[in-house]
Amino acid sequence: MPKTVVMLLLAFAAAGCTQVVTDVTAVSDPGRYEVSLPGSGVTLGGVLFRPASTAKPLPAIIVLHGWARPGVPGAPRVEGTARRLSELGYVALALSMRGWPPSSGLDDCGTQQPDDVAKAADWLAALPGVNADSIGVLGFSLGGQVALLSGARSRRIKAIVAYFPITDIQRWKDTTSNAGIRNFYVPLVCGTGYGNSPVHVAEQIHSPVLLIHGDRDTEVPTEQSLRMQEALRKADRPVELLVIGGGDHGFKGEQDEQAWSSATKFFNMHLGSRE
């Protein structure tokens, strides 16, 4: 092999260049894959983890990040969570929501993003070795909002875990400690906030829901999960709420482990065996 070719190959390897997979039939072996898949009128990018092969189809979980500055890749922010889920035996997809690379489109505060998640669930269901009847979604903050809304858009989604989710946008605008959310994000991106507030579509969410929130969260106040719990109960939908003592908008140490333990037990209960 010519020396220049060898040097180019080494340079690409050092830069971490990875081929993006678009063909679901090519994603059958265990490992990490950078993937591209269709959303609702947009192209979505993400990172897929497949655990070691088993004799039976495995449940799958889509992981959604929270809000980030435009241009910041979304999937890498939750890649670690997806990897941890795969180590527990789940097929896990860390997904960049529309508005964050490598996905296309613009952030729309949960308007069409849940339709993208529904499409991602269909894509996962078509993967070799995935149990199409055992797909869950885990989301953080804005991703938690989108996870809840996706449960109203897709019957394929069988379990939802929402960490400190936004559930009532207009109430959030009035109560958040973040002036940027109050003065810019909600008015400019979220609109009226009715159709993209999970509390208003609780009766359309048929999958079990676990809400996890810190009792000291002021960016997305704890009452957002309390209001969602109330709405789901009124709609006679299955819901659990875990309030993390001392937890802010994000958890550390024992708080994180408490939340993670509850989330994984919840998925294990509602998505079934990985063995």
Sign of CA dihedral 98, 168, 190, 149: positive
Most confident of 20-24, 28-32, 48-52, 225-229: 225-229
pLDDT digits (tens, 9 = 90+) for 210-257: 999 999 999 999 999 999 999 999 999 999 999 999 999 999 999 999
pTM as predicted: 0.91
Does pLDDT of 153 surpass 80?
A: yes
- CA distances to 105, 112, 149, 159, 231 from 153, rounded to whole Å, are 19, 10, 7, 13, 17
Which ranges of the chain does DSSP label H, i.e. alpha helix? 3-14, 75-87, 113-125, 142-150, 169-175, 179-180, 223-234, 253-271
The pLDDT of residue 7: 36
Give the pLDDT confidence of 42-84 residue by residue, as tens digits.
Answer: 999 999 999 987 778 999 999 999 999 999 999 999 999 999 9
What average pLDDT does the chain have? Answer: 91
Find all residues with CB under 8 Å of 86, minimum gap 6, and list them. Answer: 49, 50, 51, 92
Neighbours of 105 (CB within 10 A): 18
For the domain made up of 3-270, give the CATH fold: Rossmann fold (3.40.50)
Asked if 101 and 74 touch (Cβ cutoff 8 Å), the reply is yes
How does pLDDT run across 170-216, given as a tens digit for each residue?
999 999 999 999 999 999 999 888 999 999 999 999 999 999 999 99
User: 23: which residues sit within 8 A by CB, 6+ positions away?
Assistant: none
Sequence ranges of the domains in the chain:
3-270
- Residue 24 confidence (pLDDT): 66
